[in-house]
Each structure stands twice: as C-alpha cells, then as structure tokens.
Amino acid sequence: MVYFDKSWPAPVSLSTESQKSSGKYNKEDVLTQLKQDFYNKCYLCECKAPNVINVEHFRPHMGNTSMKFDWGNLFWSCGHCNNVKLNKYTNIIDCTSVVEGIDQRIKINMDPIYGAEVEIENLDNNPSTIETTELLKAIYNGTGSTTLKRLEGANIKKDIVDELFKFYGIVNQYLDEDFEGKESHYKQLIVQELRTHLSNSSPFTAIKRWKIRTNEYYNSKLEQFIN
C-alpha cells in the first residue's frame, strides 16, 4: 500500500443519490474521480487496471446512509481484495491520509526468483498496522482464506514477479558502469522510467520502494527517485 491523495470536492451525484431510497454510490462521476485519484490501481494489492473493479467502502457502512455515500469512505479496489476484506477488517490504515504514514509502517517484499510468498511485516505495534498487515497477508498469500482466494493471490504474485523483472531491468541499465557515457536522450529515458516505476501510479510501488530501502547499494544510488 502507498499514499493516495484523494481529490475534493466530492462528486456531485453522491449528495443527490443519498436522498433516494435506492441511490447508487457508483455513478459515472464517482467512478471517474476514483479511477483518477487511485491511478486505476487497487489501493490494497496495488495491481494496475484490475479486471474486476469495485467501489469499496473503506469502513463498512452496515446500512448507514451517511457512511454509504461518504466520499471519504469510497475507495478503488479489485474484486479479489474487496472479497477478502469484506466486513472482517475494520481498523486498517487509511492510505488517503498523509498523517497515517502508510509507506513507513508496513514493510513488504517478494523475491521474484525464490519467493513463493509476499513477505509483510508491521513496523510498529499500532492495532491498525497489525490488522492491515494481516489483511495484506490474506490478500497476497491466502492466509486464512479459501482455496479460490489463494489461487487469486497466486495470480497477483505472478504479476508482481513480472513487474519486478521489468523494474530490475531499468535499475540495471541505470547502474551500468557505462551509463554516464550514454547519449543524453537515453539517460533521460532511463531516469524517467525509474521515476515512473517508483511513483504512486505504478503497479506494486511499495514492493519496489522496499527493494531500494533494504539494499544499501540500491539505496545510495536510487533513493532520490522515491517520491
């Protein structure tokens, strides 16, 4: 998970739909604004352009109309993550709140060659950090989930591996000893690719950033590209 800067004001349809007996919280203006704010990424697993998209209630509304149509409570999620989370995880970190500091509270890693699971570690003992860590373990590794959810998680992990190999390819080009001797347009392209991979809009950004933070050599050379 990474920080997402949610835009305001809220989509106009939410106030009008909330007055209806069967109002909808996923009208076109809501979908458009959520897709943009979350870079068309699931806020939990960070997959990009998910095949199944849900407008998820960050805090379960449980029939409460105010929470159901609260713009601050609507998030962009993939079907897998929404179905794992359901109403079971009610105290997780709000990644749209900059003061929550999501990037520094959970360490997340995966070895693209040997790792069968995504490694997730809470870096403090705040109850919301611990619960978010447990949710992410269920999402990626199927901890405590059904066989179907574990298979879905395996598909996400395959996408992570593919993305990490792309990322390492760009990193290696930047760190190549002949890089400084390359043409300026080539260097600009590689630098831009690095910035894109490490931006909030990229798939699985948190894992890529932790690859840099936990490698002393990478960190000394690439920390400047982390937003």
- What is residue 145's predicted lDDT score, i.e. its pLDDT? 78
Q: What is the mean pLDDT of residues 69-88?
A: 96
49: pLDDT confidence band, cut at 50, 70 and 90?
Answer: very high
Please, what is the average pLDDT of the chain?
A: 95
pLDDT, one tens digit per residue, over 137-151 is: 999 999 887 899 999
Q: Is the pLDDT of residue 115 over 80?
A: no
178: pLDDT confidence band, cut at 50, 70 and 90?
Answer: confident
- What is residue 214's predicted lDDT score, i.e. its pLDDT? 94
How far from 126 is each of 84, 122, 147, 189, CA to CA, in Å?
22, 9, 30, 41
Q: Tokens 């409570």 sit at which residue?
A: 73
* Alpha carbon distance 54, 80 (integer Å): 9
* Alpha carbon distance 197, 163 (integer Å): 9
Q: What is the mean pLDDT of residues 190-197?
A: 96
How far from 163 is each of 27, 127, 166, CA to CA, in Å?
32, 31, 5
- Give the residues across from 41 on adjacent strands: 48
Peptide bond into 127 cis (omega under 30): no
Residue 10: DSSP 8-state: P
- What is residue 23's predicted lDDT score, i.e. its pLDDT? 96
Query: Per-residue DSSP letters for 137-199?
Result: HHHHH-TT--HHHHHHHHHHHHHHHHHHHHHHHHHHHHH-TTGGGS-HHHHHHHHHHHHHHTS
Q: Which of 41-55, 63-77, 135-149 has the lowest mean pLDDT?
A: 135-149
- What is residue 42's predicted lDDT score, i.e. its pLDDT? 98
More confident residue, 193 or 112: 193
The three-state secondary structure class of 78 is strand
